[in-house]
């Protein structure tokens, strides 16, 4: 009980600082269409979602063809920013990836972004992962658990033996729905934003495999307590 066999990472904001680029691209696109868009809107309504779902959360009054046009516009702006910026992986993320790899933990990236492969390659860490799940590989966006269940299936690991690292609330909810241990990554220190996660940090070098396995053991003790209570209540009702 408690053993961790795989770690699944969101990309934007967890492995590399693409958050500022995404926000700038979203802001430029939305404001060109007359919508006010601030950082709080990005974190609460757009971050971690498939592109069309993100647009619907702000531009809820436009037809589907217009949504697609806006999505293509945002993608073009974002890729221009990617080419202009010197993107790098976070040092603390590299540390944790190496730590887990040295302990024979399988590694995956699971991101709603369709730019995932391009960015992981640009920052030089694509080959560190056993599998990469992108926006092309699933149908239902976060908070649906499909993205993380897809990653677990590709890794051939039971979801209960996986840990998810996420910086968006919908990603945390998806990880919980998948039956996985969830670690919230709040690099801005606003821990309350991800308080639904099982554990929250501002840096990934504060994580160790021992900590993860202790957290996972506690999590599944709670799950069994709930199941036992439900069984007991059913017996009383019979």
| Number of residues assigned to the chain | 238
Q: Could you give the percent of the chain with pLDDT greater than 70?
A: 93
Region 46-51: what's the mean pLDDT?
Answer: 82
CA gyration radius, the chain: 19
Per-residue exposure over 193-206, b if at least 16 CB sit within 10 Å of its own CB, e if not: bbeebbbbbeebee
- Between these two residues, 221 and 131, which has the higher pLDDT value? 131
Q: What are the φ and ψ backbone dihedral angles of 222, each rounded to 5 degrees? A: -65, -40
How many other CB atoms are there within 10 angstroms of residue 102's CB atom? 9
Contact 146, 140 (CB under 8 A): yes
Region 191-197: what's the mean pLDDT?
Answer: 93
- Between these two residues, 34 and 2, which has the higher pLDDT value? 34
CATH classification of 6-16+88-232, choosing from 3.40.50.620, 3.40.50.1000, 3.40.50.2000, 3.40.50.970?
Answer: 3.40.50.1000
Q: What are the φ and ψ backbone dihedral angles of 163, each rounded to 5 degrees? A: -120, 140
Residues near 60 by Cβ (< 8 Å), separated by ≥ 6?
none
DSSP state letters, 146-204 = HHHHHHHHHHT--GGGEEEEESSHHHHHHHHHTT-EEEEE-TTS-GGGGTTSSEEES-G
Both tokens of residue 77? 């702006």
Residues carrying an active site annotation? 10, 12
Binding-site entries: 10-12, 26, 46-51, 74, 111-115, 142, 166-167
pTM of the predicted model as reported, rounded to 2 decimal places: 0.82
Binding-site entries for substrate: 10-12, 26, 46-51, 74, 111-115, 142
The pLDDT of residue 232: 40
CATH classification of 19-84, choosing from 2.60.120, 1.25.40, 3.60.21, 1.10.150?
Answer: 1.10.150
The pLDDT of residue 86: 86
């Amino acid at each position: 009980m408690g053993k961790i066999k795989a770690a699944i990472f969101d990309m934007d904001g967890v492995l590399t600082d693409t958050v500022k680029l995404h926000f700038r691209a979203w802001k430029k696109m939305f404001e060109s269409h007359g919508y006010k868009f601030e950082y709080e809107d990005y974190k609460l309504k757009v971050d971690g979602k498939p592109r069309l779902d993100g647009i619907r959360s702000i531009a809820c009054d436009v037809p589907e063809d217009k949504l697609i046009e806006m999505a293509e516009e945002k993608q073009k702006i974002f890729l221009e920013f990617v080419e202009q910026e010197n993107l790098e992986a976070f040092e603390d993320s590299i540390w944790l990836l190496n730590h887990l790899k040295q302990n024979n933990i399988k590694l995956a990236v699971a991101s709603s972004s369709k730019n995932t492969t391009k960015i992981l390659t640009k920052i030089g860490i694509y080959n560190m992962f056993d599998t990469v799940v992108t926006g092309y590989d699933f149908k239902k966006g976060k908070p649906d658990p499909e993205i993380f269940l897809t990653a677990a299936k590709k890794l051939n690991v039971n979801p209960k033996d996986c840990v998810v690292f996420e910086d968006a609330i919908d990603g945390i909810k998806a990880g919980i729905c998948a039956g996985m241990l969830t670690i919230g990554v709040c690099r801005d220190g606003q821990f309350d934003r991800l308080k639904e996660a099982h554990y929250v940090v501002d840096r990934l070098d504060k994580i160790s495999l021992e900590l993860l396995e202790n957290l996972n053991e506690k999590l599944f003790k709670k799950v069994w307590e709930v199941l036992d209570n439900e069984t007991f209540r059913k017996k009383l009702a019979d």
